Amino acid sequence: LCAVEFDGGVVIGADSRTSMGTWVANRVTDKLTPVTDSIFCCRSGSAADTQAITDIVKYRLNFMEIDQGRPASVRDAAWAFKEIAYEYRDSLMAGLIVAGYDHQSGGGQVWTVPVGGMCVRQPVSIGGSGSTFLYGMMDYMYKEKMAQADCEKLVTQMVTQAIRRDGSSGGCCRLATITKNGVERKLFLNNELPTEW
């Protein structure tokens, strides 16, 4: 999983492999899950746990938007995920990245909610089993105030590296760019992934 903020939005990306040990249960999973029209979460860990948490948060945010008469912010979504992840930290295996366009701040936000329920905002975040191969590469390639196209290229490269190196990552690369204009989704099949940087 990978998410990067840019001026006016965020780019998120993920591979598509769901595995159970050495067995690949699904090779075309969509790990980029919409929470609202402008907020997504990237899911890693137990597929059942992350799907259940996401369904609960969608319900809570929908209720909150009706109650407060305003769209949910990315922070609202991140804290809703955090509350559940922390309260049930002993029984859930869920690492999440919450990202989207925030109508209140007029820009993109990335929040990380790792296993255990911590919640922190970061301009860039990586997660999942493949992230162990990406820390040095991200430190080297990420620059502040990158353009949207550069962020899309970076996220594609990160997901590709995880697919190439990590046995629990694989399949294709799904990308979503979230701005005030909405969400633009892209799919790169395995044979379309970059072969060099």
pLDDT tens digits for range 48-62: 999 999 999 999 999
- Could you give the 3-state DSSP secondary structure of residue 143? coil
Residue 110 tokens read as 């990335």
Q: Distance (Å, rounded) from C-alpha 161 to C-alpha 39? A: 25
Cβ density class 55-92: b for 16+ within 10 Å, e for less: eebbebbeebeeeeeebbbbbbbbebbbbbbeeeeeeb
Sorting pLDDT into bands at 50, 70 and 90, what band is 157?
A: very high
The token pair at 164 is 């190439």
Regarding pTM above 0.85, the answer is: yes
Whether residue 74 has pLDDT greater than 80: yes
- CA 190, 31, 174, 42 dihedral sign is negative
